Amino acid sequence: GTPYNHRAIEQKWQKIWDDEKAFAATDDYSKPKYYALVEFPYPSGQGLHVGHPRPYTALDIVARKRRMQGYNVLYPMGWDAFGLPTENYAIKNKIHPRIVTENNVKHFKQQLHSLGYSFDWDREINTTDPQYYKWTQWIFLKLFKEGLAYKSEMPINWCTSCKVGLANEEVVNGVCERCGSPVVRKVKSQWMLKITDYAEKLLEGLEDVDYIERVKVSQKNWIGKSQGAEVEFQVAGKEEKLTVYTTRPDTLFGATYMVVSPEHPMLDKYKEDIKNWDAIQDYREQAAKKSDFERSELAKEKTGVAIDGLSAINPVNEKEIPIWVSDYVLMSYGTGAIMAVPAHDTRDWEFAKKFDLPIIEVVAGGENVQEEAYTEVASGKLINSGFLDGLEVAEAKKKMIAFLEEKGIGKSKTNFKLRDWVFSRQRYWGEPIPIVKCEKCGYVPLPESELPLELPDVDSYMPTDNGESPLAAMTDWVNTTCPCCGGPAQRETDTMPQWAGSSWYFLRYTDPKNTEALASKEALKYWLPVDWYNGGMEHTTLHLLYSRFWHRFLYDQGVVPTKEPYQKRTSHGMILGENGEKMSKSRGNVVNPDDIVMDYGADTLRTYEMFIGAFDLSASWSENGVKGCRRFLDRVWKLQEILVDGNEYRSAFETKMHQTIQKVSSDFENLKYNTAIAAMMSLLNDFYKEGSINRAEFKTFLILLNPVAPHITEEIWENCGYEGRVYAQTWPEFDEAKTVEDTIELPVQINGKTRAVVTLPADVDKDTAIAAGKELIADKLTGTIVKEIYVPGRIINIVQK
């Protein structure tokens, strides 16, 4: 027959699918719906990476299968196109970021198209399109009106040499990524979003969704709910009370010293009383150079300075204890001060050992607290603790909190690690923040009718040398009138972070051209929640949390009908180079997907990326693996040469057919694409072993394989003269009863040595089994038979002398 010409076939079918609008989601809301979503890419100048097709193919498989199962499927694609690399490219090459974005999008789209994805391209969105960011701004205004967007002094990263504010990702090991100069923190007034108001709701919402476990854990850890108490310690002989946050109020009798963070305001307040002020001041300067992350690292050697001239009183036993300054206590958490219980907290223990501070055991159950902190809370009774003695930890906590509350020196307290979201960027290529500042009225929102507030053209995309966004230099644009009083006012010149557009994009796909609302109520009601959202592990904290926050807020506002945006969330592993290292230009191990599509075909690339290994783990690229998948498709192609008539599965294949349908159907829904493909490979081998495949078997085989390799399967289907398209077929059914193996293969042995294998009904009786076995090895039975053994379902053994 004709050889398998992937290039011609793939282009042909991509055109047909476009012309037939084969994968358009319909607005027929009477049908059952399925919303499959992958994270939309940032259209970088590098183009598609072989990492992109892995998740896109996986959910394309799900989308195609669900369509064949009768669902109205929404599988959309778009561009998360604001952001730094484009802006930096624009600065360097003096090309408008809009043009850079247009070119990159065009390239990306052509590449995705060449992979045959069943995206509904009519719903394509782009976060930089004013008709899109109009609604991003609209959501911001809603947040502002609800008091959830506010201005606050926050530090930004400031390069002392370039004199620009840097994004976190531009600061590498404390220096500027571009020039290598030290980066310092500069305080600037910035827009903040009060995500902390939603901490509890974002935690609760996790109970209603089915996310893979590690994603749930990362959400929970980021929110970081912690329950404990605030306790006041009197500073000896002073007005001031030092309030600490502790999760272990039960250990108060074991608090042998206190620690305040280097930024704690009490230090400046009691400057006059502190005799070693210079040493403290030195220490604070050192601490200012470290990041919170560095400071809280467990493994780091503890440092600190005792305050000479101030001490505190432990409120439960009136003992005077020293106050230290150490950077392991962060100002950004709790109260910025702690009571140290070295016997039961590892960091305190290390600190106490280093500075020779007393360690008093108050929970019995460990070995020797002088050797190691005992941090267990599930077992252990209180000792050396007055009125708590003999109680278990949980009981002791309650009793201590009651005691503190009664004395008015403490209360139970819940803390969250979650911080408010810094929402300002001093950059050009982002959504303008639709707020003006009026001397009389303060921060005033633009009226909705003025949205979108479009980005004006500027002469330079470079941030200004006082750290303002380049928009600040556009005085014509900046100076405006106050929507409230009509007086002179200035526009906000910071723009939104890249997280903004991606925090609600899945809503827009449901109704992308709506000019009256971000999407119609009907569309949102029908399509939400997203049934399955897959994305990178690197986005399972921030992006997921930010978008859940916006969604929950919009739910509270009555804009969206569901509390949670995504019913199911999974994550894929990375694709590494042949050497097992991350693909990068400098390592010279980058594979270009275009080359694979050209040389082997999109179907091969798709099959390979699904066959490469367990979906959730990273996997190394292998050119041999690609070739293996191509060989598989070549053999699929050649099945046409052994095709025979027959409108029902042949009995020899019946079980295997039903088994394969069952396995592929369930594997496709459970991230086990590799084993689904392996099952199809095994079935294909069986057809070759048999020397034929019949029409009914071939049709089912092509339908099962179609979601993975859509082009080749359509072409063969058409070649064979089968009616319609594969994509429009009904997904094959399996009969549970027929998946059960009803024959068994039995080794036939002579004196314990296997001589043949016989296939028999699973429920064969002893006599029939032995007779069938003997017949098969008749020519080898030359001696006298002394024993005939049948171990049911296992072995036939003939013993001869």
Q: Is 664 in the site for ligand ANZ (CB under 6 A)?
A: no
Q: Is 795 in the site for Zn ion (CB under 5 A)?
A: no
User: For the window 383-422, what string marks contact with ligand ANZ as x by the rule CB under 6 A?
Assistant: --------------------------------x-------
| CB 473 to ligand ANZ: min, Å | 40
Which is closer to ligand ANZ, CB of 335 or CB of 604?
335
Interface residue with ligand ANZ among 68, 90, 209, 329 (CB under 6 A) is: 329
Contacts 24+ apart (CB under 8 A), 8-12: 9/601, 9/711, 9/712, 9/715, 10/114, 10/116, 10/597, 10/601, 10/602, 10/603, 10/711, 12/711, 12/715
Which is closer to ligand ANZ, CB of 249 or CB of 467?
249
From the list 44-52, 95-103, 109-117, 433-441, the region that binds Zn ion by CB under 5 A is: 433-441
From the list 106-114, 330-338, 453-461, 521-529, the region that binds ligand ANZ by CB under 6 A is: 330-338
From the list 270-278, 326-334, 458-466, 763-771, the region that binds ligand ANZ by CB under 6 A is: 326-334
| CB 77 to ligand ANZ: min, Å | 40
| CB 52 to Zn ion: min, Å | 48
Which is closer to ligand ANZ, CB of 347 or CB of 572?
347
| CB 330 to ligand ANZ: min, Å | 4
| CB 334 to ligand ANZ: min, Å | 3
Binder of residue 341, out of Zn ion, ligand ANZ, none (CB less than 5 to 8 A by kind): ligand ANZ
Which is closer to ligand ANZ, CB of 63 or CB of 329?
329
Which is closer to ligand ANZ, CB of 50 or CB of 341?
341
Alpha-carbon span 416 to 224, nearest angstrom? 5
Which is closer to ligand ANZ, CB of 415 or CB of 490?
415
Residue for token pair 């005792």: 306
Q: In the window 118-147, what residues touch ligand ANZ (CB under 6 A)?
A: none
Binder of residue 438, out of ligand ANZ, Zn ion, none (CB less than 5 to 8 A by kind): Zn ion
Residues in Cβ contact with 486 at an 8 Å cutoff, skipping those fewer than 6 apart:
none
Burial class (CB in 10 A: 0-12, 13-18, 19+), 301: exposed
Q: How many residues bind Zn ion (CB under 5 A)?
A: 7
Record the tokens describing residue 200, joined without a space: 């509890």
Which is closer to Zn ion, CB of 180 or CB of 487?
487
Please answer whether residues 435 and 492 qualify as being in contact, where contact means their C-beta atoms are separated by less than 8 angstroms: yes
Interface residue with Zn ion among 482, 519, 545, 796 (CB under 5 A) is: 482
Interface residue with ligand ANZ among 33, 123, 344, 672 (CB under 6 A) is: 344
Q: Is 214 in the site for Zn ion (CB under 5 A)?
A: no
Which is closer to ligand ANZ, CB of 335 or CB of 713?
335
N- to C-terminal Cα separation, the chain: 56
Sign for the CA dihedral angle at 659, 662, 664, 667 comes to: negative
Alpha-carbon span 347 to 519, nearest angstrom? 51
Q: In the window 212-271, what residues touch ligand ANZ (CB under 6 A)?
A: 226, 245-248, 251
From the list 316-324, 337-345, 424-432, 568-576, the region that binds ligand ANZ by CB under 6 A is: 337-345
Query: What single DSSP character describes residue 666?
Result: H
HEC assignment per residue over 221-233? HHHCEEEEEEEEE
From the list 329-337, 515-523, 626-634, 706-714, the region that binds ligand ANZ by CB under 6 A is: 329-337
Please answer whether residues 358 and 256 qualify as being in contact, where contact means their C-beta atoms are separated by less than 8 angstroms: yes
| CB 571 to Zn ion: min, Å | 47
Alpha-carbon span 292 to 666, nearest angstrom? 45
Record the tokens describing residue 765, joined without a space: 């009786």
Which is closer to ligand ANZ, CB of 362 or CB of 798?
362
- Rounded to the nearest 10 degrees, the angle between the axes of helix 710-719 and helix 695-705 is 160
Which is closer to ligand ANZ, CB of 33 or CB of 347?
347
Burial class (CB in 10 A: 0-12, 13-18, 19+), 674: middle
| CB 121 to Zn ion: min, Å | 45
What would the DSSP string read from start to end of 621-640?
A: --HHHHHHHHHHHHHHHHGG
| CB 415 to ligand ANZ: min, Å | 6
| CB 339 to ligand ANZ: min, Å | 5
- For residues 3-26, b (16+ Cβ closer than 10 Å) or e, as one string? ebebeebbeebbeebeeeebbbbe
Bridge-based pairing of strands 479-481 and 488-491 is antiparallel
Sign for the CA dihedral angle at 93, 95, 98, 99 comes to: negative
What is the number of H-type helices and E-type strands within the chain? 24, 34
Residues in the chain: 801
Interface residue with Zn ion among 16, 377, 441, 720 (CB under 5 A) is: 441
Binder of residue 247, out of ligand ANZ, Zn ion, none (CB less than 5 to 8 A by kind): ligand ANZ
Binder of residue 246, out of ligand ANZ, Zn ion, none (CB less than 5 to 8 A by kind): ligand ANZ
Q: Is 276 in the site for ligand ANZ (CB under 6 A)?
A: no
Interface residue with Zn ion among 485, 644, 652, 762 (CB under 5 A) is: 485
From the list 269-277, 327-335, 542-550, 592-600, the region that binds ligand ANZ by CB under 6 A is: 327-335
Interface residue with ligand ANZ among 97, 336, 512, 710 (CB under 6 A) is: 336
Alpha-carbon span 85 to 387, nearest angstrom? 62
Binder of residue 440, out of ligand ANZ, Zn ion, none (CB less than 5 to 8 A by kind): Zn ion
Please answer whether residues 17 and 117 qualify as being in contact, where contact means their C-beta atoms are separated by less than 8 angstroms: no
Alpha-carbon span 46 to 765, nearest angstrom? 67
From the list 80-88, 372-380, 438-446, 625-633, the region that binds Zn ion by CB under 5 A is: 438-446
Alpha-carbon span 370 to 390, nearest angstrom? 21
Interface residue with Zn ion among 440, 587, 631, 787 (CB under 5 A) is: 440
Binder of residue 484, out of ligand ANZ, Zn ion, none (CB less than 5 to 8 A by kind): Zn ion
- For residues 549-573, b (16+ Cβ closer than 10 Å) or e, as one string? bbbbbbbeeebbebbbbbbbbbbbb
From the list 122-130, 362-370, 474-482, 684-692, the region that binds Zn ion by CB under 5 A is: 474-482
| CB 226 to ligand ANZ: min, Å | 3
| CB 446 to Zn ion: min, Å | 12
Which is closer to Zn ion, CB of 482 or CB of 705?
482
Residues in Cβ contact with 308 at an 8 Å cutoff, skipping those fewer than 6 apart:
274, 275, 276
Alpha-carbon span 676 to 661, nearest angstrom? 9
| CB 413 to ligand ANZ: min, Å | 10
Alpha-carbon span 397 to 411, nearest angstrom? 11
What would the DSSP string read from start to end of 456-505?
A: PP-S--SPPTTS--GGGG-HHHHEEE-TTT-SEEEE---B--TTTGGGSH
Residue 585 labelled as part of a binding site: yes
Alpha-carbon span 553 to 602, nearest angstrom? 41
Which is closer to ligand ANZ, CB of 345 or CB of 603?
345
Which residues contact ligand ANZ (rule: CB under 6 A)?
A: 226, 245-248, 251, 329-330, 333-334, 336, 338-339, 341, 344-345, 415
Q: Which residues are annotated as a binding site?
A: 585
Which residues contact Zn ion (rule: CB under 5 A)?
A: 438, 440-441, 482, 484-485, 487
Q: Which residues are annotated as a binding site for ATP?
A: 585
